[in-house]
A and B are shown apart, each in its own frame.
Chain A
Amino acid sequence: MPDPGPSQGSGHDRATRRLWPALALPGTLWLVALFVVPFYAVMAIAFSGRINIFNEPLPAWNPLDWESSTFTTVITDSFTPSGAYHEVWVRTAIYSFWALVICVAIGYPVAYYTARLAGKRRGLILALILAPWWINYITRMLAWVNLLQDDGYVNKALGLFGIPPHSWLSGSSFTVVWALAYGYVPYFIIPLFASLDRIDQRLLEASRDLGVGGVRTFLHITLPLSRMGLITALVITALPMAGDYYTNTIVSGSPNTNMVGNQIELFLLEGPQKNIGAGLVLLLSLVLMFFMFYYLVLTQRASREATR
Chain B
Amino acid sequence: MTVLERPAVAEVSGPIRTRVRPWRNPWRKPYVLAAITWVYILWSLVPVLVAIQFSFNDGRSRSTWQGFSRQWYCCNEGSVFEDPSMFHSLRNSLILGIATVIVATPLGVALAMGLTRWRSRASAVANGISLVPLVTPEIVVGSALYLVVVNLYQFVPLGRPAMLLGHVTFTVSYVLVIVRSRLLSIGGEYEEAARDLGANSLQAIRTILLPLLMPAVFASAMIVFATSLDDFVVSQFLFGSAENETVPILLYNAVRAAPTPALNALASILLVGSFLALILAYVALRARHRGDDESALETLADWG
**Interface segment, one of A62-70, A73-81, A148-156, A219-227:** A148-156
Beta-carbon contacts of A6-47 to B below 8 Å, as 1s and 0s?
001000100110011111111110111011111101101100
A20 CB to closest chain B CB, in angstroms? 3
Beta-carbon contacts of A189-219 to B below 8 Å, as 1s and 0s?
0110110010001100000100001100100
Size bracket of the A interface: 35 or more
Q: Check A142/B255 contact, CB under 8 A, given A25-B114, A153-B63.
A: yes
Cβ-defined contact, B255 with A21, below 8 A: no
Beta-carbon contacts of B93-131 to A below 8 Å, as 1s and 0s?
000000000000001101101110110101100101111
Beta-carbon contacts of B67-111 to A below 8 Å, as 1s and 0s?
000000000000000000000000000000000000000011011
How long is the Cα–Cα vector from A79 to B138 in the complex, in angstroms? 24
Q: Which residues of A contact B298 (CB under 8 A)?
A: 126, 194, 197
Asked whether any CB of chain B lies closer than 8 Å to the CB of A98, the reply is: no
- Counting chain B CB atoms within 10 Å of each CB, the highest count among A20, A106, A127, A147 belongs to A20
How long is the Cα–Cα vector from A113 to B47 in the complex, in angstroms? 23
> In chain B, residues 143-174, which have Cβ atoms closer than 8 Å to a Cβ of chain A?
143-148, 151-152, 165-166, 168-169, 172
Q: Which residues of A contact B4 (CB under 8 A)?
A: 117
Asked whether any CB of chain A lies closer than 8 Å to the CB of B136, the reply is: yes
Q: Which residues of A contact B241 (CB under 8 A)?
A: none
B interface secondary structure, majority = helix
Q: Which residues of B contact A278 (CB under 8 A)?
A: 143, 147
Cβ-defined contact, B130 with A31, below 8 A: yes
**Interface segment, one of B8-16, B212-220, B229-237:** B229-237
Asked whether any CB of chain B lies closer than 8 Å to the CB of A273, the reply is: no
How long is the Cα–Cα vector from A259 to B34 in the complex, in angstroms? 35
Q: Of all chain B residues, which has the CB nearest A253?
A: B256
Asked whether any CB of chain A lies closer than 8 Å to the CB of B2, the reply is: yes
Cβ-defined contact, B140 with A281, below 8 A: yes
Cβ-defined contact, B233 with A30, below 8 A: no
Q: Which residues of A contact B111 (CB under 8 A)?
A: 23-24, 26-28
A244 CB to closest chain B CB, in angstroms? 8
Q: Check A30/B172 contact, CB under 8 A, given A106-B36, A143-B47, A201-B1.
A: yes
Of the candidates B110, B144, B203, B248, which one forms a contact with A38 in the assembled complex, judged by CB atoms under 8 Å apart? B144
Asked whether any CB of chain B lies closer than 8 Å to the CB of A141, the reply is: yes
A182 CB to closest chain B CB, in angstroms? 7
Q: Check A113/B37 contact, CB under 8 A, given A142-B251, A143-B48.
A: yes
Number of A-B contacts (CB under 8 A): 306
Asked whether any CB of chain B lies closer than 8 Å to the CB of A90, the reply is: no
Asked whether any CB of chain A lies closer than 8 Å to the CB of B275, the reply is: yes
Cβ-defined contact, A112 with B135, below 8 A: no
Cβ-defined contact, A292 with B136, below 8 A: yes
Beta-carbon contacts of B176-217 to A below 8 Å, as 1s and 0s?
100000001000000000010111111101000000000000
What 10 A-B pairs have minimum CB-CB distances, sorted nearest first? A24-B114, A27-B111, A20-B118, A4-B198, A23-B114, A243-B137, A243-B139, A38-B144, A190-B304, A143-B51
Sampled A-B contacts (27; CB under 8 Å): A8-B200, A12-B195, A21-B123, A24-B126, A26-B111, A27-B111, A35-B133, A45-B151, A106-B40, A109-B33, A117-B4, A125-B37, A125-B41, A135-B274, A139-B51, A146-B51, A146-B62, A151-B63, A185-B44, A194-B301, A194-B302, A243-B140, A245-B139, A278-B143, A285-B136, A285-B140, A292-B136
Given A34-B169, A123-B294, 5 more pairs with CB closer than 8 A: A106-B40, A110-B36, A122-B1, A125-B37, A261-B139
Query: B interface vs A, CB < 8 Å?
Result: 1-4, 24, 26, 30, 33-34, 36-37, 40-41, 43-45, 47-48, 50-51, 54, 62-64, 107-108, 110-111, 113-115, 117-118, 120, 122-123, 126, 128-133, 135-141, 143-148, 151-152, 165-166, 168-169, 172, 176, 184, 195, 197-203, 205, 226, 229-230, 232-233, 236-237, 247-248, 251-252, 255-256, 263-264, 267, 270-271, 274-275, 278, 293-294, 297-298, 300-302, 304
Query: A interface vs B, CB < 8 Å?
Result: 2-4, 8, 12, 15-16, 19-28, 30-32, 34-39, 41-42, 44-45, 59, 61, 106, 109-110, 112-114, 116-119, 122-123, 125-147, 149, 151-153, 182, 185-187, 190-191, 193-194, 197, 201-202, 208, 213-214, 217, 235-236, 239-240, 242-246, 249-250, 253, 261, 264-265, 268-269, 274, 277-278, 281, 284-285, 288, 292, 295-296, 299, 307
